């Protein structure tokens, strides 16, 4: 299942917000194996995702089955992993966490820190090329990190709320 790139979701936004949508679209479209992508703020709120038109019900038809890989589910997982790994790094005097990777039988989850404390999360297929995904995530982080100002985060949050 290939992640869906943002569509009309990015309309009516500032040029910086549209730029981030464009970067996310390129990440999704150009990197094989990506199932979903989420950008989460430092306080755990979803800022940007790869499937904004997908409803919660479509992503999770039977809630008892748990996460299905939608960006909203991924945002929750990324936020939790970010908090857990930051706590572990603090206990171990390891400094800031740069990236986290979890490999499973049926996929992988990658989390990478963005300069403002936000996180980029990717859910990928089990046969993905991990180094290619990590490389493209690093490119996204490098390009997006300097533009995620408090004003832009607020604009993205409002956009996400109105899309739901």
pLDDT value at residue 157: 86
Query: Are the beta carbons of 20 and 155 closer than 8 angstroms?
Result: no
Helices and strands counted in the chain (H then E): 5, 5
pLDDT value at residue 145: 84
- What the chain holds in terms of domains, given with CATH numbers, is 8-163 (3.30.450.30)
pLDDT tens track, the chain, 164 positions: 455 444 444 457 888 888 898 999 999 999 999 999 999 998 888 999 887 544 343 444 444 443 455 667 899 999 999 999 999 999 999 999 999 999 999 999 999 999 778 999 999 999 999 999 999 999 999 988 888 888 888 888 888 877 76
pLDDT value at residue 8: 42
pLDDT value at residue 69: 53
pLDDT value at residue 54: 46
pLDDT value at residue 37: 94
Q: What is the DSSP letter of 139?
A: H
Of 99, 95, 96, 104, which is closest to residue 133 (Cα–Cα)?
Answer: 99
pLDDT value at residue 92: 97
Three-state DSSP class for 47?
A: strand
| CA 55 to the chain's CA centroid | 17
């Amino acid at each position: 299942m290939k992640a869906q790139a943002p569509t009309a979701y990015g309309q009516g936004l500032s040029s910086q917000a549209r730029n981030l949508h464009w970067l996310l679209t390129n990440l999704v479209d150009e990197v094989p194996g990506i199932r979903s992508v989420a950008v989460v703020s430092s306080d755990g709120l979803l800022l940007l995702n790869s499937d904004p038109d997908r409803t919660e019900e479509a992503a999770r038809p039977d809630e008892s089955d748990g996460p299905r890989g939608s960006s909203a589910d991924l945002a929750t997982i990324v936020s939790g992993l970010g908090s857990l790994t930051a706590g572990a790094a603090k206990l171990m005097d390891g400094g800031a966490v740069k990236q986290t990777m979890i490999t499973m039988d049926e996929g992988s989850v990658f989390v990478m820190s963005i300069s403002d404390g936000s996180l980029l999360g990717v859910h990928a297929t089990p046969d993905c090329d991990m180094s290619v995904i990590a490389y493209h995530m690093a490119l996204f982080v490098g390009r997006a990190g300097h533009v995620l100002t408090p004003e832009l985060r607020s604009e993205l949050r409002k956009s996400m709320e109105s899309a739901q």
